[in-house]
Amino acid sequence: MTSTTEAPAGAGRGVSTPVPPRRRRKIRADDVGRILFVLPAGIAMALLFGYPVVKNVLMSLQEYTLTTFFTGEAPWVGLANYADVVSDPIFSQAMLNTGLFTAGSIVFQFAIGLALALFFKQKFPLSGPLRGLLLLPWLLPLIVSSATWRAILEQDSGILNQFLGLFGVEPIGWLVSPSVALIAVIGVNIWIGIPFNTTLLYSGLQSIPDELYEAGALDGATHAKAFRYITWPSLRPVISVVLILGVVYTLKVLDIILGLTGGGPANATQTLATQSYQRSFVDFEFGHGAALSNILIVISMVFAVVYLRRGRQAADE
Amino acid sequence: MTTSTNAATTTTPATRTAERRRPSRDQVSLRKAAMTAAGVAILCVMLFPVYWMVNASLQPSGNTLNAALIPLEPSLDNYVRALSEQGGNLLTSIVIALGTVVFSLLLAAPAAYALAQFRFRWVPVALLAILISQMIPGIVIANALYSAYEGLGLLNSIPGLILANSTNAIPFAMLIMRSFMLGVPPAIVEAARVDGAGLMRTFISIVVPVSRNAIITAGLFTFLFAWSDFLFALTLTTTDEIRPVTLGIYQYLGTQVQNWGAVMATAVLSAIPAIVLLVAAQKYIAAGATGGAVK
């Protein structure tokens, strides 16, 4: 396009207004117009993110229940909501489940995602279209995936148990037995997360220059060595981004668990996110729900800080 | 692995070093065919649940208990039932998703351009805020919006859900479009400015057409996000009046499922935007991705 030929003339910015004082005056006049470009989005972000975060902190310090909506009264209770939710026996279970759900999902999503990215990096017919179709589980609405997996995992009629039955395995209550429900839910979440990992890691692999591998081959690097000394180190910035984004997204997962088990059976799949939903929108204890979700934010932010640090390091390198 | 395929792709002209180790042409094509077969096998495993969803939706019995592996006698009964029970909800979802696209893009496109091209001092701060905003759990937003909506009368309303869905959509659309708009040459905008066009006019008549692919990409993903929304539908509606289809599916799942066929037919109908995006709009996804990758 013409745009590329004109691009080097980008220095022409100053040409129309070469004298510094004049330029300054002009920019000040423009500034109002320029601010109008970001103002609507800025206001929306403040209303839709800033307000909820602040409001959530305030709610967590109040006795905010359904009656608040009728009486308008929400007495201050300090940290009592936090004390209540933390001392609840379900809390430790929810913390443990959140940890297992997140760690289990991330490890397998990443390992399988990386294996698939390496596989599709090779050149073979239909590699592109096949990789494209692989995205489908990621694009489907989560509740659709949940519904589909529930049909597959049904104890009596599900295809998975029918399939396992061929090998003489007794029907397993994937979603109704407390001992396996969390594993089943993690498995579904892994399935949903694989395409995201594959896609990001694949684009990371694409950016590793072929020359590195050619030089490695001349030096006699085997496949394993090429992976260890070339692929892995070159991919490291992408890997940390993928892992940390994965953690932050997985911590707040709600649709999948609600669709599959609703947090049951016997709280076996209850996480901080589902617990927060439960307290706010089922029990209508909004103060308790807010306290739980604030704990979730703090945990997310720890990973967010690591992410931002890593991002800066990658930019510096 | 990668090294050997690289050697293989440099086919005819004899490169000195790899000469001896290069496999014969037959071996290469055999190997590639095997890899394509492996790729197809991987895809079959990964997409089996999607296949099963479609298969179950076409089973005449309406129950997966005796579902055949292949719908030998496909029936559209489940779709008839799904459309009669969920048709209104599908329509609600379409309206909400389109509304979210329009609202989000109207706000995000100028802001994305400003973040890409204007030399504001606080651009890094704004980008940081956008990144952090993506890490806030939706339940936090829902919690606060519920109480605010209660007062504003926005519960059970389409504008309420459009606003809520925009929380995810606006920052995401800004990031996608900004990474593309970094590549818009300032010179073409300057030229229009010199001719006397105002900032907004320049933006609409020059930046928007040039960034068309990025805007379409952001719009498609925004549609998909809003279409897929479950959390806000679940928390910010309390009656049957305004009910997106995701919530309709959840209600099907709420009790003991009597008719998996209807559930799966609704699921298939709800999967259509994702499938369309994947199959028909891939060039926009690619355009957006490379647009972002260039800068």
Classify A263 in phi/psi space as left (phi over 0), alpha (psi -120 to 50) or beta: left
Packed helices A232-251 and A178-206: angle between N→C axes, nearest 10 degrees:
140
Q: Which pLDDT score is estimated for A299?
A: 93
Paired residues of B233 in beta bridges = none
B222-268: pLDDT as tens digits: 999 999 999 999 999 998 889 999 999 999 988 677 788 899 999 99
Alpha-helix runs per DSSP H in chain B: 2-9, 25-46, 48-57, 77-117, 123-133, 138-152, 158-181, 186-194, 199-202, 208-210, 212-228, 231-236, 245-254, 260-280, 282-294
User: Is the ipTM of this structure higher than 0.90?
Assistant: no
Q: Which of A216, A246, A225 is nearest to A114 (CA)?
A: A246
pLDDT score of B107 more than 90: yes
**Main-chain dihedrals φ then ψ at residue A62, nearest 5 degrees:** -120, 160
Question: A21-25, B33-37, B86-90, B206-210: lowest mean pLDDT where?
Answer: A21-25
Binned at pLDDT 50, 70 and 90, residue B12 comes out as: very low
Q: Which residue has the higher pLDDT, A199 or B104?
A: B104
Chain B nearest C-alpha distance from A293 (Å) = 6
Nearest residue in chain A measured CA to CA from B147: A69
Q: What is the pLDDT of residue A29?
A: 63
Residue A78 gets the label, from left (phi > 0), alpha (psi -120 to 50) or beta, of: left
Band of pLDDT at residue B290, cut at 50, 70 and 90: very low
Contacts of A130 (CB under 8 A, 6+ apart): A120, B36, B39, B40, B42, B43
Binned average pLDDT, 10 residues per bin, chain A of 317 residues:
37 44 56 86 92 94 87 86 93 96 97 95 88 89 95 89 91 92 96 92 88 87 86 88 88 93 91 94 94 93 80 56
Q: DSSP letters of A113-179?
A: HHHHHHHHHS--TTHHHHHHHTTHHHHS-HHHHHHHHHHHH-TTT-HHHHHHHTTTPPP--TTT-HH
- Picking from B7, B128, B166, the nearest residue to A44 by CB comes out as B166
Structure token pair of residue B189: 């905008």
Which chain B residues contact residue A157 at CB under 8 A? 63-65, 260
The better pLDDT of the pair B197, A225 is held by: A225
A72 in contact with B, Cβ within 8 Å = no
pLDDT of residue B63: 56
Length, in residues, of chain A: 317
Query: CB A273 to CB B139 under 8 A?
Result: yes
Work out the percent of chain B whose per-residue pLDDT is above 90: 47
* Cβ atoms of A149 and A167 closer than 8 Å: no
Contact B124, A32 (CB under 8 A): no
Residue B65 pLDDT more than 60? no
DSSP 3-state of B56: helix
The whole-angstrom distance between B42's CA and the closest CA on chain A is 9
- SS3 label, residue B135: coil
Residues whose CB falls within 8 Å of the CB of residue B191, separated by 6 or more in sequence, listed in order: none
Tokens found for residue B123: 């651009």
CA B76, B82, B88, B93 dihedral sign is negative
Question: Which of B116, B104, B138, B31 lies closest to B294, judged by CA?
Answer: B116
CB pair distance less than 8 Å for A154 and B43:
no
Those residues with Cβ within 8 angstroms of residue A22's Cβ, 6 or more apart along the chain or in another chain: none
**Contact at CB, B278 and A255, closer than 8 angstroms:** no
Q: In DSSP terms, which residues pair with A76 in a beta bridge?
A: A62
Out of B65, B137, B264, closest to residue A293 by CB: B137
**Nearest-CA residue of chain B relative to A280?**
B143
- How far is C-alpha B182 from the geometric centre of its chain's CA atoms? 22
pTM beyond 0.80, yes or no: yes
For B217-227, what is each residue's pLDDT tens digit?
899 989 999 99
Of B183, B185, B178, residue with least CA distance to B127: B178
Q: Using a CB–CB cutoff of 8 Å, tell me whether B45 touches chain A.
A: no
pLDDT higher than threshold 90 for residue B286: no
For residue A262, the Cα-to-chain-centroid distance in whole angstroms is 20
What is the sign, positive or negative, of the torsion defined by CA atoms of A36, A40, A46, A51?
positive
